[in-house]
Amino acid sequence: MSSIEAKIGVSTIVLYERPEWDMMKAIEEVSKAGFKGFEIHLDDFHGCIGDPWMIRFPGVWPRTCSASFRRELKDALKVFETVTLHGTCFEVNIAAENPGLREEGVRQYVEALEFAAELGIPTVTFHMGGPAHILCDPEKVYARNLEFAKRATAFAEKHGLSIGYENGGSIDLFKRYIKDVNSPAFGLLWDIGHATMHKGGNTGVALRWAEAFRGQMVEIHAHNVLGWTANMSILDHHGFEEGTFLDMRAIFRKVKQIGYDRPIIFEILGPRAHPALDKCKRAKEIILDVWDEA
C-alpha cells in the first residue's frame, strides 16, 4: 500500500441516501469501500441535495451527541488510519457583523475543537466568516477571523491538534493569516475546486496554490469543477474525470512534488451515496497512479 493511501478518505457531506444514513452506517460503508480515511462534517441538520427537499448527510453535532455515543463513535473510528473533523459552514459565521451571530458561530467552533480533542481526532478545519453586507470593512472581517484563528490555535497547541481554515479569497490573503497566526499548528485546508472558482481559476491557478503553501497545508479537499462562470453550487464537487476544466493528474503530481503527506478528503457528490463513493474510488485510483509514477 502506498503511504499516501492511508491519508485518502471521504467526507460525510457526500453520503446521501433514503432512508438517511446515520454515522455508524457511514463509517461501515466508507470502510467497506476500501478507504482508510474519513471526515466528519460536524452537524446533524445539513444537506446539499434533495428529492426535492433536503436529504441530510450522516451527522453528528456536539450538542445532540450523548456521552455514551461519543464513546461508541470514538471506538468505531478506529477502523480508519486518518480521521478529520470539518466545522460546519451551515448558517455559521464567525465574522458576522451581528455580534450575537458572531458569538454563536465562535461558540459552535469552540465546541468542535473540544469534540475533536475528546474523540482524539487530530485534524480540525473551519470556514472563515464573511460579511453579509458589501459595505462591511474587510479589515474588520479579517480581524475577526484572525481572532478566532489565534484562539483555536492556542487550543490546538495545548491538545496536539492541527487546525486550519478552508481557503477563501486570494493566496496573498491566506498567506497573511498564516503569518499573523504564526504557529505550525495552523495552516491551510486547500479546497482545490473552491480555490480555482474565484476570479477565473484553472489548473495553473491550482498549481500556484500548491506551490505557495508548500509545507503549510493541514488538509486537502479534492474534487473537480466544471467551470467558474456560474453558481459554485452547480459547478463544483464533481468527480476527477467529470469535465475538462481541471487536470487532476497534473494537480496531484504537483501535490506529490511538494512532499505533501497530510489528509486528502474527497468532497465529490453523486445522486446518492453509492454513486458518490464510486466516484471517490476512481479519484483515489488516479491519485495512487500518480504516486506510483517514477
Q: What's the pLDDT tens digit per position in 44-66?
A: 998 988 888 999 999 999 999 99
Note the pLDDT tens digit of each residue in 1-25. 678 999 999 999 999 999 999 999 9
Q: What does the alpha-carbon distance between residue 93 and residue 282 come to, in Å, rounded to a whole number? A: 34
Fold of 3-292: TIM Barrel (3.20.20)
CB 59 within 8 A of CB 23: yes
Domain range annotation of the chain: 3-292
- Residue 231's pLDDT is 60
Count the neighbouring beta carbons within 10 Å of the beta carbon of residue 14.
28
Q: Which of 161, 169, 100, 175 is CA-nearest to residue 130?
A: 169
Q: For residue 236, is pLDDT > 80? A: no
Mean pLDDT of all residues in 177-199 = 91
Residue 72 scores a pLDDT above 70: yes
Residue (of 115, 85, 105) closest to 147 by Cα position = 105
Q: Does the pLDDT at position 230 exceed 90?
A: no
Q: What is the per-residue pLDDT for 233?
A: 61
53 to 18, 19, 56, 58, 234: CA distances (angstroms): 12, 13, 10, 16, 16
**Neighbouring-strand partners of residue 191:** 221
Comparing 159 with 243, the larger pLDDT belongs to: 159
Cell digits of residue 73: 463513535
Average pLDDT over residues 135-140: 90
Q: How confident is the model at residue 93 (pLDDT cuts 50, 70, 90)?
A: very high
Does 232 have pLDDT greater than 70? no
69 torsion bin: left (phi>0), alpha (psi -120 to 50), beta (else): alpha
Distance CA 128, CA 117 (A): 21
pLDDT beyond 70 at 200:
no
CB neighbour class for 99 (10 Å; exposed up to 12, middle 13-18, buried from 19): exposed
- Per-residue pLDDT, averaged over 115-124, amounts to 99
pLDDT of residue 94: 97
- Look at the alpha carbons of 200, 240, 287, 76 in this order and tell me if their dihedral is positive or negative: positive
CB 76 within 8 A of CB 27: yes
Nearest to 214 by CA among 265, 171, 250: 171
Q: Among residues of the chain, what percentage have pLDDT more than 90?
A: 82
**Model confidence pTM above 0.85:** yes
CA distance 286 to 288: 5
Strands 54-55 and 49-50 come out as: antiparallel
